[in-house]
Structure 1
């Protein structure tokens, strides 16, 4: 009996010890789980500081060169091309004949008008002789003179129509395309020559709203081309769009005088440098700090390990950095990656 009691006591003590250990482990596990849950509640982000940086105040933007003048010359009358007087690449002057076209209808009309004019002059001569002898009245003589004048005007009109059949350059430039050969039959509207003038070119660029205030009509702008790295050209601002596009950019047109050898070609990629190449100290943040886009003017700043959505006033763009005019101060940590997972007040953990 005594042995049974001792055995029961030992078993009870063992069970009590096991329960104590289990409860102790449970409390430890719950504490560890709470710590893990607390850590997992923080969103991992990358961050940088709002800081004073030395930046180049020159605004740089890109575009493509296009000719100041370009035209596709088309046939104005039907006919067969008798002669082609220029080749692709030839320089032409304003008014120069590029092709001679035999326009059948215009040729026949011209011959008829010439014959009518000669007949009217002969009739007038006879009427003038008859008038001297009293054979015709003054009224008949005046009608003969009017007939000559009408025939002369009709002849001039026919001569102009016949000359329209020939194709002439409307301005000085280069033949970029020639679409006809001798013997080609053309109809009104048939494209024959493309003429371009590259002695002066246009460069259309976009300037954002932060920098458009420093661009003025008549302003001199340095222009370069990536394919001509050792040459610099001078551009002049000729036009500033009064209205921005959907991206809040303003189209600006520059006019650039080509060099003597016309090294700049239409279609080349060009870079325009607005303002002087000067350095200045500016409060900036990385472009990636902005929520969505720079135009949103919203940034997550980190305070007490929390992401706080903050409204700022952004300024000029300097490549990877954006000027901050107001809203945050130097040394403020800002989120640069991971904003998509954040709400105002979200707990964050900064990762390298």
Structure 2
């Protein structure tokens, strides 16, 4: 064998030995079949906790109002536009008053005539010329004429639209010169200047059952980078027929500087005061989580691993709330689960 062939043989032999060592080291680093798998465990202790509920919805003032004229007519002026700020009592719109004022003048003339008739019949009755029935009819006619004047004055008053509270104009449905029917909406306004903002969110029936009026909350409006403290002020008593969910209204404790608008998106974290009994376990101990269920390994007599299904509560980056499934167990496997199957032999090696 020449020197070149010997060199090739030594190189191949060296590579074979190196590969053999790598495979041996890899095999010894993984648990071997039939041997105990090293794991770490923690003690399970049941405790009480509240599960946070996250929901989203839109802001509203709950006092959005459609304003209209009491009687129909031709719109003379609309003095505001969408987005304008308004104050309580401010004149917003008015009808052309020509016909309405004419009606009031006619009612007043009818009243004056009825008054003269009543006075004349009263004098005739004293002279025994008119009967009691004629006197009573004259008084009734005077009363009717007086009520007609009140009705005409009322219609004149409500031929103008004034702001019932301070807020903003949300929508305008008509324009000057338009003939509008009685009761047709002209403007939509809210009372946003009265600190009446609420966030209305939807929750499931189970979440609705946990929440109560007065429970604390943290709101996250789209216009704020930080959360705002608040509380639940109202719960619906019927499900939405389209979605099957229930609404919850959350009011911020302070909303003057939030710069909110009707329909603006917001999130909220609700904390029910109702306490649940369960376990708080490390996130790495949870396997195959899906929805509100998952799996964990517990130790049986500190020798055998047992895989069990658990019902989950809130899940965070560091821990998981387990509501049920761990009853009767006191040791939870937190590391080594990747190598385990139900019934695996284990060796506890806590640090």
TM-score interval (norm. to shorter): 0.5 to 0.7
Q: 1:319 to 1:98 in 2, by over 3 A?
A: farther
**Take 2:284 and 2:97, find their aligned partners in 1: how far apart are those partners?**
68
- CA gap of 1:299–1:136, structure 2 versus 1, over 3 A, is same
Q: What is the match of residue 331 of structure 1?
A: 333
Equivalences for residues 143-158 of structure 1 within 5 A: 143-158=137-152
Say whether 1:174 aligns with 2:168. Answer: yes
Name the CA shift for 1:128/1:161 in 2 (closer, same or farther; >3 Å): same
CA shift in 2, pair 1:161/1:50, >3 Å: farther
1:238 and 2:233 correspond: yes
Whole-angstrom CA distance in 2 between matches of 1:322 and 1:274: 18
Cα shift at 1:120: 0.4
How far apart are residue 284 of structure 1 and its match?
A: 4.6
* Counterpart pick for 2:198 among 198, 202, 213: 202
1:192 partnered with 2:194:
no
Please, which of 59, 64, 71 is the counterpart of residue 70 of structure 1?
A: 64
Q: Which runs of 5+ in 2 are unaligned?
A: 1-39, 273-278, 300-304, 343-351
Given that 2:70 and 2:155 are in contact with CA atoms closer than 8 Å, whether structure 1 keeps it comes out as: no
More displaced 10-residue stretch of structure 1: 111-120 or 266-275 = 266-275
Q: 1:183 aligns with which of 153, 161, 177?
A: 177
**Alignment partner, residue 116 of structure 1:** 110
Supply the distance in 2 between the matched residues of 1:65 and 1:52 (Cα, whole angstroms).
45
Secondary structure of the residue that 2:61 maps to in structure 1? strand
1:90 is aligned to: 85
Q: TM-score, normalised by structure 1?
A: 0.61
Q: CA deviation at 1:71?
A: 1.7
Distance change >3 Å, CA 322–CA 119, structure 1 → 2:
same
Deviation at 1:193, TM superposition (A): 0.9
Answer yes or no: is 1:59 the counterpart of 2:58: no
Matched, 1:271 2:285: no
TM-score with structure 2 setting the length: 0.62
Structure 1 position 157, deviation (Å): 2.4
Q: Secondary structure at the match of 2:116?
A: helix
2:130 to 136, 140, 165: 136
Residue 156 of structure 1 aligns to a residue whose secondary structure is: helix
Please say if residues 283 and 317 of structure 2, whose CA atoms lie closer than 8 Å, have aligned partners that are also in contact: no
Q: Counterpart of 2:333 in 1: which secondary structure?
A: coil
- Output the aligned Cα RMSD: 4.4
What SS class does the counterpart of residue 65 from structure 1 fall into? strand
Contact 1:97–1:168 (CA under 8 A) maintained in structure 2 = yes
The 5 Å alignment of 1:34-49 reads: none
Q: Label 1:146 to 1:181 Cα distance change in 2 as closer, same or farther (>3 A).
A: same
Match of 1:349 in 2: none
**What corresponds to 1:159 in structure 2?**
153
| Deviations 1:59-113, CA, capped at 9 Å, x for gaps | 25242212221122234432112233334412221x5442111267655543433
Higher strand share: 1
User: After superposition, what is the alpha-carbon deviation per residue over 1:15-65, rounded to whole angstroms, capped at 9, x for unaligned?
Assistant: xxxxxxxxxxxxxxxxxxxxxxxxxxxxxxxxxx99899xx9672524221
SS of aligned partner of 2:154: helix
Q: Secondary structure at the match of 2:130?
A: coil
